[in-house]
Structure 1
Amino acid sequence: MALAANKSDLDSQREVPTEEGEQFSQENGMFYIETSAKTAQNTNELFYEIAKRLARVSPPKRSGINLNPETPERKGFCCLG
């Protein structure tokens, strides 16, 4: 699904060129993104893209639970303290 190249902040120590990562991910049906945990570059984007793609292939099922606090029919939940 995703190929994340980490440590993009250490470009001088790169061992795999961007083009190689992109090509590998394309050949294997994944999307490619370069990230850095140190600088937070593309970390949110990575998780957002995964969630977006998961929602497309497996949409969330309706549970029947109303999570909108503005509607009067909302009842309290067990276990909320």
Structure 2
Amino acid sequence: MALVANKADLETKRQVDNEEGELYAQENGLFFIETSAKTAQNVNELFYEIAKRLVKARPARPAGMTLHDETRSRGRRLFCCST
């Protein structure tokens, strides 16, 4: 799904060229992104892209828990779930 290069903030200590990572990802059907945990560069973008791709790969199907809305005394609403 993804090839992630971390420590993008350490450009001078780079071991793999950006182009090499891009090419490898493309050849293997992956998307490529460089990130930095230290500076948060592209971290949100990475998770957003993964989430988008997961939704496309596995659409939601109606199954599992059902949410029940019940009103109790004093007008308070309680929610409960069941399978």
TM-score (norm 1): 0.79
Q: Does 1:77 align with 2:80?
A: yes
Structure 2: gaps spanning 5 or more residues: 71-78
Q: 1:49 matched to which residue of 2?
A: 49
Q: Does 1:10 align with 2:5?
A: no
Q: CA RMSD in A?
A: 1.7
Structure 2 distance, partners of 1:44, 1:31, is 15
Aligned-pair CA distance for 1:57: 1.3
Q: 1:70 matched to which residue of 2?
A: none
Task: Count residues with an aligned counterpart.
Answer: 72
**Large movers: runs of 4+ above 2 Å:** 62-66
Q: 1:20 matched to which residue of 2?
A: 20
Answer 1 or 2: which has greater strand percent: 2
Aligned-pair CA distance for 1:61: 1.6
Counting aligned pairs with the same residue, the percent is 58
Structure 1: gaps spanning 5 or more residues: 67-72
Aligned-pair CA distance for 1:45: 0.7
TM-score (norm 2): 0.77
Structure 1 distance, partners of 2:31, 2:51, is 13
